[in-house]
Chains A and B, each alone.
Chain A
Amino acid sequence: MHEVSIALNLLEIVSEQCRKNGYSRIESINLKIGRASGVMPDALLFAFEAIKIDSIAKGASLNIEEVPVSGLCNNCRNNFTVVEEYVLCCPVCKGTSFSITAGREMDIIDMEVS
């Protein structure tokens, strides 16, 4: 729902790193986006296409690795990963008391520059 502002933040971070280090072009950017981050990869890709024009990243492609949601169950201490859906309960004991250990990522990992 807020992918344009996420894309603008992303562009600002990578542009700044290019300015500091004297890179002139970004070829590609690799991201990790958690399934529980509230970011839809397709919408982020679309937003990035729209805002990258006239920037150092105008020729850059965005590669998104989606991270599934993982949790640690507070009842049975089971570490679990939710593969398909975002319905959160421990698959072993069906408990709904857990801490989320992965799936909220919105991280820039690296980029290809020249």
Chain B
Amino acid sequence: MKVKVVTKILEANDRIALENRKLFDAADVFVINLMSAPGAGKTSLLEKTLSAKSGLKIGVIEGDIAGSDDAERIEKFSVPVVQINTGGACHLDANMINEVISDLPLNALDIVFIENVGNLVCPAEFKVGEDMKVMLLSIAEGHDKPLKYPLMFQESSALILNKIDLAPYLDVDINKIKKDALSLNPGLKIFDVSCKTGEGISEWIEWLKGRHGR
């Protein structure tokens, strides 16, 4: 006997993501799903953000395949941080976030960053309950990335072009990155940033404050 199912395979994930979102909304916390390839500078951006004296009360959920190096880097700033080890999985999913939400003092926070596993493919597919997705691309990754990984660029609200201080040493065409990214996603907000020199961090912080006070 043939029976209809007609269900999205990720429906269960999306349902839990919605639950997460309700918990975050109830505490008036703005949640950012931070995504990039490995080594683009997600944790460095968080370090710069946390040391910027923005007045924002920030918590962090760190997702890594293994280890707690990133959480240890964040802990130095005396902010609430939770480490998730995915044990090999290439992305965070809504259930992993659901299991650690109660470890964060949500009512005392303005913004929660969820640092996803380094990967330009899968994290864009799994909602975790975020208000928005923000992606980093270090310019050394090359100007072909927007057209090679279009979904990530289309799903994100902001693109942080990190390691901008390396521009003089690279052949990368930064204007092409911006042009392609904007044609994929005309509403994308782009920041030129160097987590090494601090360039562009203040613009990013100002934008962040505006998002939280939406």
Where the two chains meet, the residues of A that have a C-beta atom closer than 8 Å to any C-beta of B are 1-2, 5-6, 9-10, 12-14, 17, 21, 23, 29, 31, 36-38, 87-89, 95-97, 100, 104, 106-114
Within 8 A of A (CB), among B80-104: 89-91, 93
B3 and A95 form a contact (CB under 8 A): no
Where the two chains meet, the residues of B that have a C-beta atom closer than 8 Å to any C-beta of A are 1-13, 89-91, 93, 119, 121-122, 124-126, 147, 150-151, 154, 180, 183-184, 186
- Report the nearest B residue to A110, measured CB to CB: B4
Residues in A neighbouring B151, C-beta threshold 8 A: 36, 38, 100, 104
Residues in B neighbouring A109, C-beta threshold 8 A: 4-6
Residues in A neighbouring B125, C-beta threshold 8 A: 2, 37-38
B140 shortest CB reach to chain A, Å: 22
Seed contacts A1-B122, A109-B6, A111-B2; 4 additional CB < 8 Å A-B pairs: A1-B119, A9-B11, A106-B8, A112-B3
Residues in B neighbouring A104, C-beta threshold 8 A: 151
Most chain B Cβ neighbours within 10 Å, of A5, A12, A17, A107: A5
B6 and A110 form a contact (CB under 8 A): yes
- Contact of A97 with B183 at beta-carbon distance under 8 Å, contacts A38-B121, A38-B125 already known: yes
Residues in A neighbouring B3, C-beta threshold 8 A: 17, 21, 23, 110-113
From A9, A88, A110, B5 is in contact (CB under 8 Å) with A110
CA–CA, A36 to B125, complex, Å?
Answer: 10
- Report the nearest A residue to B93, measured CB to CB: A5
Main secondary structure of the interface of A (DSSP, over half): mixed
- Report the nearest A residue to B151, measured CB to CB: A36
- Contact of A108 with B91 at beta-carbon distance under 8 Å, contacts A21-B3, A38-B121, A97-B184 already known: no
B7 and A110 form a contact (CB under 8 A): no
A108 and B184 form a contact (CB under 8 A): no
Most chain A Cβ neighbours within 10 Å, of B10, B124, B180: B10
B209 shortest CB reach to chain A, Å: 30
A108 and B2 form a contact (CB under 8 A): no
A1 shortest CB reach to chain B, Å: 5
From B122, B183, B184, A38 is in contact (CB under 8 Å) with B122
- Contact of A17 with B150 at beta-carbon distance under 8 Å, contacts A1-B90, A38-B122 already known: no
CA–CA, A50 to B124, complex, Å?
Answer: 26
Residues in B neighbouring A95, C-beta threshold 8 A: 183
B176 shortest CB reach to chain A, Å: 11
- Report the nearest B residue to A105, measured CB to CB: B8
Residues in B neighbouring A106, C-beta threshold 8 A: 8-10
Residues in B neighbouring A10, C-beta threshold 8 A: 9
- Report the nearest B residue to A99, measured CB to CB: B154
A110 shortest CB reach to chain B, Å: 5
- Contact of A112 with B1 at beta-carbon distance under 8 Å, contacts A13-B7, A37-B125, A97-B184 already known: yes
B9 and A110 form a contact (CB under 8 A): no
Residues in B neighbouring A6, C-beta threshold 8 A: 9-10
- Contact of A107 with B122 at beta-carbon distance under 8 Å, contacts A17-B3, A88-B147, A113-B1 already known: no
Q: What are 11 sample pairs from A and B whose C-beta atoms fall under 8 A apart?
A: A2-B91, A2-B125, A5-B89, A12-B12, A13-B5, A23-B3, A87-B147, A96-B184, A108-B9, A110-B2, A112-B2
